[in-house]
Amino acid sequence: MSFTSLRSLSTRAIQITNNKNAALLNCTRLYTAASTPAKFATIDESARVQKQMAFGRDLSAAANNAHGELRFDWKKEEIEAIYHSPIMELLYHGANVHRMHFDPLAVQQCTLLSIKTGGCSEDCKYCPQSSSYSTVVKAQKMLDTGEVLEAARAAKAAGSTRFCMGAAWRDLAGRKGTGKGSTDTPTNLFVPLPQLHPLPILFS
């Protein structure tokens, strides 16, 4: 590639960088037109299906069921067939089904805060927060109400549309390793949480 061509490409790149909004809008239009079906755009599935059948390949269970009516009467055999479909087919049709019902360019921003880490009395083998096993996670007392509210306000200011608090225990009665002298409980948090309205608050 000649120096002139490189300079031309460099100039073009600078122009795009200096006009981020226009570049983003252009990319959005291309993305939407190319990969967004149903009420947001339309995808012609027939051409892809014909090409796949021309190669002598049967349609996967994912392909056969992706564009049907909403159902609640799935049989175990049907679910197994979809589960065992090729991973790329599942990704493709799963993404298309999502785009049929939701805006594909919208991303829900959520914030998750661990208000009580480690020392859980449960013995779930996959969880490093269980007190039954030796892991790198150290038991910590529950965060103070002020710390939680500060984190929630920061999440709201950053654009999060949901704020979820997670605690490592089975229930309040069976919690373990919360730290001596800790007077805060999740119920204490419920009183000031309305201050964060309209940010939805979740707890697990």
Residue whose entry in the numeric block shows the structure tokens 């300079």: 7
- pLDDT 10s digits, 124-136: 888 888 888 888 8
- Which tokens in the block code for residue 164? 């979820």
Residue 70 C-alpha from the chain's centroid: 23
pLDDT score of 200 = 82
Three-state DSSP state, 36: coil
Q: What is the pLDDT of residues 134-174, one digit of tens each?
A: 888 888 888 888 888 888 889 989 988 888 888 887 766 54
Give the span between the Cα atoms of 153 and 197, in whole angstroms. Answer: 10
| pTM value surpassing 0.85 | no
Closest Cα to residue 163, out of 130, 189, 128, 137? 189
| Mean pLDDT over each residue of the chain, to the nearest integer | 71
Give whole-number Cα distances, 57 to 49, 54, 74, 157, 166, in Å: 10, 7, 25, 51, 46
Secondary structure element (H or E) that encloses residue 116, with its range: strand 110-116
CA nearest neighbour of 96 among 126, 139, 66: 66
- Looking at this protein, which amino acid is placed at residue 51? K
| Mean pLDDT, rounded, for 17-35 | 45
CA 56, 59, 60 angle in degrees (round to 5)?
130
Q: Is the pLDDT of residue 48 over 80?
A: no
